[in-house]
Chains A and B, each alone.
Chain A
Amino acid sequence: MKTTLTINGEPREIEAEARVTLLDALRHEIGLTGTKKGCDHGQCGACTVIVDGRRINSCLTLLCTQEGAEVVTVEGLGEPGRLSALQEAFLAQDGFQCGYCTPGQICSATAMIEEAAKGWPSWVSESLEGEAVLSREEISERMSGNLCRCACYPNIVDAIAKVAEARMAEAAE
């Protein structure tokens, strides 16, 4: 069956069986292999992409349910020589080692910072109302769906904190 959607700003039409996940479609049909498969069961976050502004596990999403969706993958966030602020920050803080969980971490963090900017609370937020300040604890909590076996967690949090601070300052203006 055919699914029409936008991937990294480009309109795409993909012909695939109904059982094909968004993750496998990205990797096998489109050749966008930046999005990784770590578990195929929604347990690791390696496959995180941004759909209509929200982060999702693309392994738990069937392609055919994404008709008309706007999908952004790690490739759409930046490229060598033109990296996004978060990608730069991951590089500077060594927020990765093997790099396999990294696209998922970066997509997840990109959307997470926007969630916080909108004031969405998390499990560790003091209150359900008002501003969501991205403390270390908040970042760790909100990023816990993205596993990293190389365990770059402290560095990932540093990288996100740096970018989030700038984003919050921007939002305050």
Chain B
Amino acid sequence: MTAHLVFDEPDKRNRLDAMAQEVVGRPIDRSEGALKVSGRAVYAAEQATSLWSEKRAECLYGVFVRATVPLGRVASLASGEARAVPGVLEVLQDPRLVRHPAQGMARKSPPQDLSEVTYFGQPLALVVAESFEAAREAARLVRVEYETSAEAELDPAQAPSELPEKKQSAQGDLEAALREAAVSLDASYSTPSMAAAAMEPHAALAWWEGDRVTLCGAYQMVSQNAEELADALGIAPGKVRVLSPFIGGGFGSKLGIAPEAVAAAVAARTLGRPVMVTLARQQEFEIAHRRSETGQRVRLALDADGRLTGIGHEARVSNLAGESFSEPVQQATHFTYRGENRQIRHEVARVNLTCAGSVRAPGEAVGVTIFEMALDELAEKAGLDPLELRLRNIPEEDPETDKPFTSHMLAEALRDGADRFGWSDRRAPGERRQGEWLLGMGMASAVRVNMLHKARVRVTLTGEGARVESSMTDIGTGTYTILTQIVAEMLGLAPDRVRTILGDTDLPEGSGSGGSIGAASNGSAAFLACEEIRRQIAAQMGCPEEELTLKDGRATCGNRTRDLAELVTEPLSAEGHFEPGKALKGVRSSTWGAHFAEVAVNEITGEVRVRRMLGVFAAGRILNEKTARSQCLGGMTFGIGMALMEEMVHDRRFGQVVSRDLANYHIPAHADVPALEVHFLEERDSYGGTLQAKGIGELGICGSGAAVINAIHNACGVRVRDLPATPDKVLEGLCALGR
């Protein structure tokens, strides 16, 4: 039985609020938590040893041979020496292998043909051996000669570029607004390439049974990934099964099928044995999608009342030739603030560097951050409190399309955050000091577009409890737990009576994890399935579904109560199928928030330490306060990284990633992160599917880095416009100020 809903109308029923179990929203522990803290959760590279022990001895290991030039053709690939290494079975070159990962939701193979090199570090062949150690050794012994006819484009600032027509927009007359403005700003900024750097490197284990391949991999969107893999292999999607029950973080880097998956599948086919391919951390930095560097120019016009009359936001990003993805830097600039005269320019440079793709909150992560830094500068020029500047410029409706907002919580988040944080204690730059440390506060708005995606979830109720099944994944986001809670709520069960099974393409097709779509989309599908089951129970009880109360395993209609265990003699099963429809067409849907940070800047060394940070967030119904909070902590910390340390450096001569490991690419460590505070503004957004919920996984990173950068200025008067604000840049600023 399928309960299908095309989401054409907002759902104002708030049905979850009418349920009796009272588990949705509660900060319950993660349902898969005991497995994770005890080391029993099985990740991709472990399936061979754990899930599948009888075949363990058969498993082979693959290691990539990779390009040492950024552009060219492979003239020859000599594998004799490699093949002579004991244990080596094959040096695989195959037209089906792929050059880089697929973009999120591609549903088709990324470019194939490895003889064409388009970036440094691109896979060229796969060495397969009986042991990981032998494969690794042999991969270094393969000798590759290249032919090069053209110069590689290694400098994103200089490379030839395109202006994709759909990504430009203008209204009114920005130049005139700037001329007439009481206060204006024209400033250029930059952010470097960044890495998702999930702690689990990409990994794939493949084996074949007849013409059917099973892939255990670390992927965020397994149903889409199965189609991508099938396309790469040239087989029917039905012949591919992908399993990703546990994923060690994604942040966008595992959205699409990646070279290791295709290579493992092809090698397993060729050799007739299971093959595992894992990326070393250095390969991870060079092969997995990077977040594009950006060059940004922000122009702002403000009238005498502190109201924005003009907004210009230009961005230059980069990617490989032919890739349609380009970091959507200005995604939120379109609608966050008022102003009649607006101009967006979006330029894409074509380079021979690691493929650029989605990394946590593509667009807003860097776009909102820079824009919020610019607003801080404008506020200073105008002599306005930065908080006040934002409050004066919140639009009534989408300023470009006049569409109404489904909910707009920015003002509330800003005010609430300012109160909690003690924003009124903020002083002028240089006024707060502790020894050689200067203290300052900064703030920024948080905004992230909200999306829904089609999703299917099956729920089966038996006398013992419920089972929830979908190909949806949990990449640390809390999906196991929130789906468990939703079903427990709807069916009146204790959460430990609900078992959620995810990450298997044999199950109904979930949305996958990406773009913060997971909770609302799959949650809505689970809701629909439960609603159908409730209807069936209500029919048995002889009342309408709305009058049925399910709680603690008992069904109540009017004055009649029965145990579910005795009522449900045959399993009741329903598949919820949620599809976004017309509801979201005429509106602007977004999540909102505010960031506040206090930093200390060392006057002598230029070092910046984050002292405290607060995020206030509104994302519709919060499904689990504990896991939602953790998502926000994670996002805010990504912001600290972006502001202070993360920088993927490419060698401008050869195109290789210089900071290609965790010793050189710095991500925040324990000592970099104080006790961050998160607060939610609960709301019900009727456009957030049947749960009135929106995504929370990316909001925390949108703008948090700006709060840190703005706090640096408030501490010591230094504006850093080129991220990250490493000590050398802060010091240079301090020297320029004569400090």
Contact = CB atoms under 8 A, between A and B. Distances in A.
Interface of A: 17, 19-20, 24, 27-28, 31-41, 43-44, 46, 73-75, 77-81, 83, 87-88, 90-92, 94, 96-103, 106, 136, 139-141, 143-157
Nearest to B50: A33
B37 A106 contact: yes
Given A97-B478, A154-B633, A156-B670, 19 more contacts: A27-B49, A34-B39, A36-B43, A41-B661, A75-B40, A91-B37, A99-B248, A100-B248, A106-B37, A141-B671, A144-B670, A146-B670, A150-B249, A150-B476, A151-B634, A151-B637, A151-B638, A152-B633, A154-B674
Contacts of B40: 34, 75, 79-80
A31 B669 contact: no
A37 B663 contact: no
Contact of B38 (A17, A78, A150): A78
Interface stretch (B26-34, B231-239, B596-604, B648-656): B26-34
B264 interface: no
B280 interface: yes
Nearest 6 pairs of A and B residues by beta carbon: A34-B39, A100-B248, A98-B476, A99-B36, A97-B476, A151-B637
Nearest to A156: B670
Interface in B215-248: 246-248
B199 A98 contact: yes
22 contacts: A27-B49, A31-B56, A36-B43, A44-B199, A78-B38, A81-B34, A96-B33, A97-B477, A97-B631, A98-B199, A98-B247, A98-B476, A99-B37, A99-B246, A102-B36, A148-B199, A148-B670, A149-B199, A153-B668, A154-B673, A154-B675, A157-B670
A155 B633 contact: yes
B35 interface: yes
A105 B108 CA distance: 38
Nearest to B37: A87
A27 B671 CA distance: 30
B199 A41 contact: no
A151 B673 contact: yes
A79 B281 CA distance: 29
Interface string B12-46: 00000000000000000110111111111111011
A28 B129 CA distance: 14
A150 B630 contact: yes
Contacts of B281: 38-41, 43-44
Given A80-B34, A94-B29, A143 B670 contact: yes
B645 interface: no
B38 to A, nearest CB: 5
A106 B475 CA distance: 20
Nearest to B636: A151
B467 interface: no
Interface in B605-638: 626-627, 629-631, 633-634, 636-638
Given A44-B199, A144-B671, A92 B29 contact: yes
B669 A147 contact: yes
Contacts of B89: none
Given A39-B281, A97-B478, A100-B248, A152 B199 contact: no
B630 A19 contact: no
Contact of B673 (A35, A87, A88, A140): A140
B181 interface: no
A17 B133 contact: yes
A101 B249 CA distance: 10
A36 B670 contact: no
Contacts of A77: 38
A7 B33 CA distance: 24
B251 interface: yes
A19 B87 CA distance: 14
Nearest to B250: A98
A91 B30 contact: yes
Contacts of B258: none
Contact of A28 (B32, B132, B249): B132
Q: Which of A32, A91, A99, A155 has the most CB of B within 10 A?
A: A99
A88 to B, nearest CB: 8
Contacts of B675: 136, 154, 157
Contact of B199 (A19, A33, A94, A101): A101
B158 interface: no
B462 to A, nearest CB: 23
Contact of B39 (A74, A81, A97, A141): A74
B676 A154 contact: yes
Given A34-B39, A40-B280, A94-B29, A46 B132 contact: no
A100 B46 CA distance: 12
A80 B38 contact: yes
A100 B199 contact: yes
B interface SS class: loop
Nearest to B697: A97
Contact of B630 (A32, A78, A88, A155): A155
Contact of B670 (A28, A73, A79, A141): A141
Interface in B187-238: 196-201
A73 B626 contact: no
A31 to B, nearest CB: 4
A92 B34 CA distance: 10
Nearest to B278: A37
B434 interface: no
A38 B278 CA distance: 11
A143 B45 CA distance: 26
Given A31-B56, A98-B199, A99-B246, A152 B38 contact: no
B49 A33 contact: yes
A149 B132 contact: no
A90 B30 CA distance: 10
A79 B34 CA distance: 8
A38 B40 CA distance: 17
A149 B251 contact: yes
A94 B626 contact: yes
A38 B37 contact: no
B248 A36 contact: yes
A99 B476 contact: yes
B202 to A, nearest CB: 12
Contacts of B638: 151
Contacts of A139: 670
A135 to B, nearest CB: 12
B351 to A, nearest CB: 26
A23 to B, nearest CB: 11
A154 B700 CA distance: 15
B53 interface: yes
Contacts of B543: none
B304 to A, nearest CB: 43
Interface in B486-503: none
A66 B731 CA distance: 47
A100 B249 contact: yes
A20 B131 CA distance: 10
A98 to B, nearest CB: 3
Nearest to B477: A97
Nearest to A80: B34
Contact of B634 (A39, A41, A100, A152): A152
B671 A147 contact: no
A44 B33 CA distance: 21
A44 B661 CA distance: 10
B86 to A, nearest CB: 10
B93 to A, nearest CB: 26
Given A39-B281, A43-B661, A98 B475 contact: yes
A149 B198 contact: yes
B50 A31 contact: yes
A142 to B, nearest CB: 8
A143 B670 CA distance: 6
B667 interface: yes
B662 interface: yes
Given A99-B41, A140-B673, A147 B630 contact: no
B630 A152 contact: yes
A96 B29 CA distance: 11
B80 to A, nearest CB: 22
A44 B630 CA distance: 20
